[in-house]
Amino acid sequence: MRHHLLLRVITKLLVGPIILFALYVQFHGDYSPGGGFQAGVIFAVAFILFGIVFGLEKVKLVFPPWLVHKFAAIGVLLYAGTGIYSLMLGSQYLNYSAFTPDHPEHGQHWGILVVELGVGITVAAVMVAIYYAFAARPPVISDEDW
Amino acid sequence: MANAAVLPALSIIDQLPLLTIVVPMVAGPLCVLFGNRHIAWLLAFLASLASFLFSAHMLLQVIDGDVLSYHLGGWAPPLGIEYRVDAANAFVLLLISGISTVILPYARQSVAHEIKKVSHTLFYCCYLLCFTGLLGVVVTGDAFNVFVFLEISSLSTYVLIAMGAERDRRALTSAYDYLILGTIGATFFVIGIGFLYIATGTLNMTDLAVRLADMDGNRTVQAGFAFIVVGMGLKAAIYPLHLWLPGAYTYAPSVVTVFLAATATKAAIYVLLRFMFSVFQPEFVFELHTLTWIIMPLAILAMFAASLIAAFQTDLKRLLAYSSVAQVGYMILGIGLATKISLSATIIHLFNHGITKAVLFMVVGAFVMRKGSSFTKNLNGLGKQMPLTCAAFVVGGLSLIGVPGTAGFISKWLLIDAALEVDLWWLALLIVMSSLLAVVYVWKTVEVLYMNEPDEGTIAKEVPMSMLIPMWVMAIACIYFGLNTDITLTSASVAADSLLRGGVQ
């Protein structure tokens, strides 16, 4: 899309705000609509848009596939790790109140924030991974090549 | 809300129902994070072993009829998600984690042979997720949570089956078939749960049982029941809903076939048992009719039709896959009879068939490794070249037929006992007759292995010890559980009791 000047300029302008908006949706999720899943999708959209306009190779330089896989794993571990932390405090799995026994509401606030961050990271990584998988598919063999 | 501060700290024993699930669940992403195939294998094995030990400990705790209840996040049921372990699911948990622990040492060589190195870490990650899903389906006491874990196990299963594409591209279409049918099954199941939720306003199984008790004539509940039975029937491969199974088992990598054949349909049968006897009461008229007029005839059909199809297969893996469909028939038959003995028979057959099929598919995996295929025409005279592997096949085959002294005999004997108890002598006769069909297809293979001369100029070595030992552990288990029935019979009858007692303690 080298000759689409408008698309390229606007994409460059948009990528930053999209990521910023994703982070807003992520961390403001407990006061307004949003949360990890939505934020993750929006975050991934920034990369997908960049990939569509500048090509798969360029976006893979920014966010290489091996890193995408690691992030998908890290998100899940963050979620599960929150649960395991509460186990180690002698409470049930994912019982956030255990984090701050004197003031359970604070613990619950922290707990959901970390868990949602885990969701966000995994969703963003998986979305990008799915885009890579589809975009990197070799073109279907044409009839003459059989 | 300041409840956490006053609650006493939970010990590790209290956490067991959860740890069984969480350990493999965390090990999965860790495999990807480390990105090393040796570490991935080690993590998978250790996680599986840990789950096995936890399940064994839980079974010991509940064998006297106790129930373990774990409240996730500290939310009390019926509002929160509850993990509820009684003898029935502790036994199935032990089966799944035990099989997995034995399979993984075998998997190392077999996976190295069949799947390219780059994919190994992802393979073990998917394997662990599938394992987590199956355990989760069994451990949870929340109807919707069953669906969530079912999806975890199903989605990873599709990937695992598709990994067989290295060996045979048809694995892709088989995985796709299973994806479509499995999704329909899961959707039906969740629609059924939705109907029950509309009618009762609860998702906790114990609570559902209490609230459903006086809802016999409710159409919503009846529709929910139908959706759940058909949905789970698809996952369990009850005869006319089995179409995904032969392809999936045939083209999946050998290890995946061993694991799925020994555990996946078993988890689905467990869910059927749980819903039919704990959540719904067998006293419901519509349920009794379903059991007598739908489940029983289908079970008998499966026993004969699938065995007959198996007898005509030219691919050993596909033959055993059809035999699995037939064996599901026996388990379903036990459900159809709906007595305490027949349920024990179903549960014990879950276990016995699990270990039997594990041996047989492990042997096929060894053939695939040495001969590159599982077609019977390529297996001529292997009895002389791979004596230990072929001997394991004979042991597994005998157990599949149900020869006295093997595990398969115990479950069939119990099933015949159950049929005679309700004066269905013709049913007992049918069970024996269908076993004769198993003789046909097992003998057919034994003949190829031992009676035929080896093909000219082919030399097949015995497989490595890391594959032979797990194979023989399972083969010896087949004999051991045929001779010493204390553990299995006690567990199965306590499990049947706790199922029939249902949620209403």
Residue B233's pLDDT is 93
Residue type, B29: P
Whole-number Å distance between alpha carbons of B74 and B362: 42
Residue of B nearest to A79 (CA): B26
> CA B362, CA B397: separation in Å to the nearest integer?
12
Average of pLDDT values for A17-38?
Answer: 88
What pLDDT score does B76 carry? 87
Nearest CB partner across the interface for A90, out of B10, B19, B33: B10
Among the partner-chain residues A66, A94, A97, the one whose CB lies closest to the CB of B1 is: A97
* Angle between the N-to-C axes of helices B425-446 and B316-337, in degrees from 0 to 180, rounded to the nearest 10: 170
Residues 6 or more apart whose Cβ sits within 8 Å of residue B188: B227, B228, B230, B231, B234
Task: Tell me what pLDDT residue B49 has.
Answer: 96
Instruction: Give the number of other CB atoms < 10 A from CB of residue B65.
Output: 12
Structure tokens at B429: 């006769």
Q: What part of A 80-99 touches B (C-beta under 8 Å)?
A: 80-81, 83-84, 87, 89-98
- The pLDDT, as a whole number, for residue B7 is 58
The two tokens of residue B468 are 């032979």
SS3 label, residue B458:
coil
pLDDT at B500: 83
- Please report the ipTM that was assigned to this predicted complex: 0.90
Query: How confident is the model at residue B275, as a pLDDT?
Result: 92
Distances (CA, A) of B315 to B281, B347, B373: 42, 29, 9
d(CA B40, CA B29): 10
Tens-level pLDDT at each residue, chain B (505 residues): 444 444 567 888 888 999 999 999 999 999 999 989 999 999 999 999 999 999 999 999 998 888 899 998 888 888 889 999 988 899 999 999 999 999 999 999 999 999 998 889 999 999 999 999 999 999 999 999 999 999 999 999 999 999 998 888 899 999 999 999 999 999 999 999 999 999 999 999 989 998 988 887 889 999 999 999 999 999 999 988 999 999 999 999 999 999 999 999 999 999 999 999 889 887 787 777 888 889 999 999 999 999 999 999 999 999 999 999 999 999 999 999 888 899 999 999 999 999 999 999 999 999 999 888 889 888 888 888 899 999 999 999 999 999 999 999 999 999 999 999 998 899 999 999 999 999 999 999 999 999 888 877 777 888 899 999 999 999 999 999 999 888 889 889 988 988 887 654 4
What are the tokens at B379?
């297996």
Q: Is A130 on the interface with B (CB under 8 A)?
A: no
User: Is residue B445 within 8 Å of B327, Cβ to Cβ?
Assistant: no
Residue B119 per-residue DSSP state: G
Select the residue of B9, B18, B22 nearest A90 (Cβ to Cβ).
Answer: B9
Size of interface A-B (CB pairs under 8 A): 80
pTM here is 0.93
Q: Return all residues near B476 (Cβ < 8 A) that are at least 6 apart.
A: none
- Number of Cβ within 10 Å of residue B214's Cβ equals 8
Report the residue of B1, B20, B23, B26 to disrupt the A interface, i.e. the one with the largest count of A CBs within 10 Å.
Answer: B26
Q: Determine phi and psi for B375, rounding to 5 degrees.
A: -70, 140
Does A70 lie at the interface with B, CB-CB under 8 angstroms? yes
pLDDT at position B44, please?
A: 96
Q: Which of B361, B296, B297 is nearest to B107 (CA)?
A: B361
Q: Which two tokens stand for residue B213?
A: 């008790």
**Nearest Cβ partner for B74 among A73, A95, A101:** A95
Chain mean position to CA B335: 16
Mutation target to probe the A interface, by most A beta carbons within 10 A, among B33, B140, B172 is B33
CB B454 within 8 A of CB B380: yes
Q: Does A114 touch chain B (CB under 8 A)?
A: no
What are the extents of the domains in chain B?
Answer: 16-501
pLDDT at residue B8, rounded to an integer: 65
Where do we find the tokens 């936890």? B54
Peptide bond into A138 cis (omega under 30): no
For residue A105, list chain B residues with Cβ-Cβ distance below 8 A. 1
Alpha helices in B76-119 (DSSP H): 87-114
